[in-house]
Chain A
């Protein structure tokens, strides 16, 4: 599939925004500036950006506890995300949700979700809403290898298959569910083969190659929009950071995966891979890429300042928004 320069630039900006946001979040969290805990997507930028680049504005996504990348890729505003992570009233959820629960309905982001597998039936339902209202919007559903062992994965794939719902299930297989290797707790090597049980296409994708993700998603979205039903994409990828930022403090370093494994996956960095491809292929100059890096740095600095200077919620807001 031919991808024009504008889209390539947009993909690069998306991956840079995620990488820089997540790196900064890690540092702010370790400096005790952020309450709660955060799950980072460093190393998984290509799957989020590749999928969301194949969607249009009215399409929707559901996300996970490791969801910053998906929200940014779908157009989330860094300053409102950052403010939410600080627990400020200017955040996306007025400080009620935090890292795992950021939502922006205006961008079709139905939300991150703190429950593993929680987003799968919601995505099926979002796709059902498109059918009921006669629209051709598609829903992309992000989840991890861990969620593919949840009942909701199996129930949602079956439901989406029997009703031919316009949904693309995107499994980001980063090889670990919390601190447990995926192969220890999963009956199959490739999650994609589970599609066969529900009579839908299942495809294995190099999740660190944004163009490959984009191409697979584009085909899956076209099928969904045409009323041909769901697809399961398995993006093979890896999280460079731990399950939660700062986990070394309580589990110790190297306790469930080796430094060699992490180093090996870093050689497959989705951003470096992309830079090499577009510069060597003379599609984008190094200077153009550098400008995006700098613009993103400036955007991020502004987001941090905004979050830091924003007011905390007033305690009187605690009872707001329980009911409509």
Chain B
């Protein structure tokens, strides 16, 4: 089977779902050209009514996606970089997330938001932030963070079919990552974690691009006789708590690895859940490997210092193993 890139997986998922459902349409900044490749060629397939370049006007077009969803369509709305969501916070958090609940279930909100996030190599803080934590405490949203091409395709297709506002966060450093994607109508359900590597000594809960870094760390740790199990939650909301807790019950040790910040991040949230529901399973304190609590810097050595890498993951796993 041929290998498919992360970016092409996005393209395939959107094309297949737009083919399948005429109520879907694509809007966002430069989606016609698709400068990063994710939406390239979709205009030619689906025409200008369903593939729309928006002005650089996040509050306007994100809000329009909300209205379009409430009026019976299923928008796929690209916000180029996830930090740009700050310009449309009201539309995502006050409108998309809340209106179903506030209307007693009347409002339908089938929107898929897509955005690049994460340290890309010298993009600096306004284009490198891991912003999903900002949405974790907004009930009504679903948050998806794929770690590779197959999950990307299957999760994005499920997101587009979901009747809730779903934000799919696409790590910018994964674009060229290649993987086999199962043929056919490949769907990955939201709310189901994946065991990316089975192991018996210690659990790593790794999110997004941290999965491939953790896999590499696990190979090195295996040489030291430490058998790591890697759990990829794949979606932060809904969160597959059972998969995480089952793994911790087996290994009795856990490290949470995330590119978000240490304070108030997804890693803090997952660590709190493990502490609250799985304390009796633990033989060592829960540890987190995250970005430092600094804006992600521009200069390469500073950027590298700010975010998790293999060495930090390995050092932290050794600590929880008491080595």
Residue ranges of A at the interface with B (Cβ–Cβ < 8 Å)? 60, 62, 91-97, 101, 103-105, 110-111, 113-115, 118, 120-133, 139, 151-152, 155-156, 158-159, 162-163, 320-324
Cβ contacts under 8 Å, B102 to chain A = 93, 96-97, 101, 103, 111
| A-binding segment of B3-11, B61-69, B227-235 | B61-69
- List 5 tightest A-B contacts by C-beta distance, closest first: A121-B63, A125-B67, A155-B60, A125-B64, A129-B71
> A132 to B158, alpha carbons, bound, how many Å?
22
Cβ contacts under 8 Å, A103 to chain B = 99, 102-104, 106-107
Q: Judging by beta carbons under 8 Å apart, are A96 and B104 in contact? A: yes
Residue ranges of B at the interface with A (Cβ–Cβ < 8 Å)? 23, 25, 49-50, 52, 54-55, 57, 59-73, 75, 90-91, 94-95, 99-110, 139-140, 142, 162-164
> A267 to B268, alpha carbons, bound, how many Å?
62
Q: Judging by beta carbons under 8 Å apart, are B70 and A126 in contact? A: yes
Cβ contacts under 8 Å, A105 to chain B = 70, 103, 106-107
B234 → A minimal CB distance (Å): 17
Nearest to B237 among chain A residues (CB) is A323
**Complex partner residue of A101 from B71, B103, B142, CB under 8 angstroms:** B103
> A101 to B108, alpha carbons, bound, how many Å?
15
Contact A62-B67, Cβ < 8 Å, known A105-B106, A118-B90: yes
B2 → A minimal CB distance (Å): 33
Cβ contacts under 8 Å, B94 to chain A = 114-115, 118
Count A-B pairs with CB separation below 8 Å: 156
**Complex partner residue of B68 from A96, A120, A128, CB under 8 angstroms:** A128
Cβ contacts under 8 Å, A128 to chain B = 64, 67-68, 71, 73
Q: What are 19 pairs between A and B in contact, CB < 8 Å?
A: A96-B102, A96-B104, A101-B103, A103-B106, A105-B103, A105-B106, A110-B67, A110-B70, A111-B70, A121-B62, A122-B66, A124-B60, A128-B64, A129-B69, A139-B67, A152-B59, A162-B55, A320-B105, A323-B142
Cβ contacts under 8 Å, A152 to chain B = 59-60, 63, 90
**Complex partner residue of A115 from B61, B73, B75, B90, CB under 8 angstroms:** B90
Cβ contacts under 8 Å, B139 to chain A = 322
Q: Judging by beta carbons under 8 Å apart, are B67 and A159 in contact? A: no
A245 → B minimal CB distance (Å): 21
Q: Judging by beta carbons under 8 Å apart, are B103 and A132 in contact? A: no
Contact A159-B61, Cβ < 8 Å, known A96-B102, A97-B104, A324-B164: yes
Q: Judging by beta carbons under 8 Å apart, are B59 and A122 in contact? A: no
**Complex partner residue of B63 from A60, A124, A131, CB under 8 angstroms:** A124
Cβ contacts under 8 Å, A151 to chain B = 59
Nearest to A60 among chain B residues (CB) is B71
> A6 to B138, alpha carbons, bound, how many Å?
48
Q: Judging by beta carbons under 8 Å apart, are A159 and B60 in contact? A: yes
Nearest to A128 among chain B residues (CB) is B68
Q: Judging by beta carbons under 8 Å apart, are B64 and A156 in contact? A: yes
Cβ contacts under 8 Å, B52 to chain A = 163
Nearest to A97 among chain B residues (CB) is B102
Q: Judging by beta carbons under 8 Å apart, are B63 and A120 in contact? A: yes
Q: Judging by beta carbons under 8 Å apart, are B106 and A133 in contact? A: no
Nearest to A114 among chain B residues (CB) is B94
Cβ contacts under 8 Å, A115 to chain B = 90, 94-95
